[in-house]
Structure 1
Amino acid sequence: MAWLGSIILLIIVGLIAGFIARAIVPGRQHMSIGATILLGIIGSFVGGFLGYLLFHADPNGGLLQPSGILGSIIGSIIVLLIWIAVKRRSGARA
């Protein structure tokens, strides 16, 4: 049952990180709650990967790992900016 607690914690951190990233990045993003949670979860793994690259710390024995709340927010901002750029580029062609 410990994995269930980890999943719930990942969802809560994902929601918080995704919401803060959406509040920091200018402009309006049309995203649902589920998309915001997914943004935060992906941002958490991006933040963990960047933490590994910058600090060469590997506490969990893996290259792709979840990060703390600050790393999750930074990763979520990066993912959101990439998502906006890709969406804008694909929208310009149509």
Structure 2
Amino acid sequence: MFQIIWIVIVGAILGFLAKLLLPGRQAIPIWLTVLCGMVGALLGNYISSVIGVRHTSGIDWIRHLLQVVGALVVVAAGSALYPQARSRN
């Protein structure tokens, strides 16, 4: 149970950080920001495990950087796709 709460907290932090770093305004709701942050964290973890830097001694700076980059990509994609999905209804 605590792991799910931790995933949501990290997703929120990464999602809002990505919204701050992206230029312009991202008109996506809070729930989508958190979801995009969660997906970005998973994407960063996957890439770090593929290149072999997921588990290192000390703080995993490369993994965290890849998580932020993953969140940037997913939030940008989510903000680009969200108005189109809303206009179809």
Q: TM-score over 0.5 for the alignment?
A: yes
- Alignment of 1:28 with 2:29, yes or no, is no
Superposed displacement of residue 81, structure 1: 2.8
2:12 to 1, 12, 15: 15
Identical aligned residues as a percent: 30
RMSD between superposed Cα atoms in Å: 2.6
TM-score, normalisation: structure 1: 0.67
Query: What letter corresponds to residue 52 of structure 2 in structure 1?
Result: H
- The alignment of Structure 1 onto Structure 2 pairs a total of residues equal to 79
Q: Unaligned regions of 5+ residues in structure 1, if any? A: 60-67
TM-score, normalisation: structure 2: 0.70
Query: What letter corresponds to residue 25 of structure 1 in structure 2?
Result: L
Q: Unaligned regions of 5+ residues in structure 2, if any? A: 56-62, 85-89
- Alignment of 1:78 with 2:79, yes or no, is no
For residues 41 and 58 of structure 1, the distance between their equivalents in structure 2, rounded to whole angstroms, comes to: 17
The equivalent residue for 2:38 is: 41
Superposed displacement of residue 58, structure 1: 6.4
